[in-house]
Amino acid sequence: MNGWYGYWAAAQITGVIFSSLVWVVVWGLSLPALVMMAAIGAAMVIGRNTRPMLWWRFGAAPTKDFQRDTVLTATVPVASLRGRHQPSVWIGWRLVGAQVIMPSSTILVVSPEFVRRVASGQVTDRQASATISQALGHVEVVDSALVNLLEAYCAPWRLVQVLTGVVGQFAAQHATFRCSWKIRWIVFGVAIVDNYLNDRWPAFVGVSLITVLSWTTGHLHNRWARRSQDLGEQRATSEGLGPGVADLMQRGHGSLGVSERAERVCRGTPDREVESRCPTVWRRAGLRSATR
């Protein structure tokens, strides 16, 4: 299990509460509509790895022979994806925030940019394998029926997240909006005190809940993001590809925190010659290897 269920469940609290309120309203307006949406959601979960759903989720289509051979060659260093465990390869045109996703252990979805970089040599086979092994570490999450079922249930919240993401990009460019968001704690505090003094208990509970969720949502989401990253790195190191992951982490990130994390990934690689395979990490981090 790798101990990820608790982190994941905590990160879903806000989505479950908000979506539950939406579904209660839909239930009150039209029970047949709620039943129909529930049936559609269940069908999407059951058929999540079928060709139509792969297209719906990732814009995925089968690769051409050259693309497939390029990617499969890069997967050779990943021991668990060799031979009969070799996955089918798809090109995903809608991979948001990722170059590689594995919806299941038998399906590999890669972005066109990832294929281009591997084919042109901008990314070495070992680095490509490291990226793919990290995606393999997320399979038990991405392919979990429970995770997909809750994702379908929390569709209203996901829509809100998309909209707030768009608004957030606009607001980040204007000091007035940033200031308004920072002083929300004052507004929440005044509302809580006012509702308490005037015995408006439903409003008091509602505002208090919103205040708590306003802080915990981001905090719990960040904890889950870090745990999810750990799952990928643990799988990569277990495959002996920690140096490749560490090198990718170093590219474009020269901070001490990233360097220290890269060092830990290298140290976790089951290889006696780990330092000789991570010269870039040791040099950039300025840290002395513990293997000497």
At 43 the pLDDT is: 93
At 220 the pLDDT is: 94
Asked if 20 and 157 touch (Cβ cutoff 8 Å), the reply is no
The reply to whether the predicted model has a pTM over 0.75 is yes
Average pLDDT, the chain: 83
Summarize the confidence of residues 32-61 as an average pLDDT: 93
Q: Return d(Cα 284, Cα 292) in angstroms, integer.
A: 18
At 139 the pLDDT is: 94
The domains of the chain are located at: 49-142
At 78 the pLDDT is: 87
pLDDT in tens, 217-243: 999 999 999 999 889 888 888 888 877
Q: Return d(Cα 272, Cα 290) in angstroms, integer.
A: 11
Is residue 105 predicted with pLDDT exceeding 80? yes
Q: For the ranges 80-84, 119-123, 260-264, which has the lowest average pLDDT?
A: 260-264
At 284 the pLDDT is: 46
Is residue 89 predicted with pLDDT exceeding 70? yes
pLDDT in tens, 184-227: 889 889 999 999 899 889 989 989 999 999 889 999 999 999 99
At 259 the pLDDT is: 61
Highest mean pLDDT among 38-42, 80-84, 123-127: 38-42
Annotate 40-99 with DSSP letters as a single string. Answer: HHHHHHHTTTSHHHHHHHH-EEEPPHHHHHHHHHHTTT-GGGSGGGPPEEEEES--TT-S
Asked if 152 and 18 touch (Cβ cutoff 8 Å), the reply is no
Q: Return d(Cα 233, Cα 228) in angstroms, integer.
A: 9
Summarize the confidence of residues 50-67 as an average pLDDT: 91
Query: Which architecture characterizes domain 49-142 according to CATH?
Result: 2-Layer Sandwich (3.30)
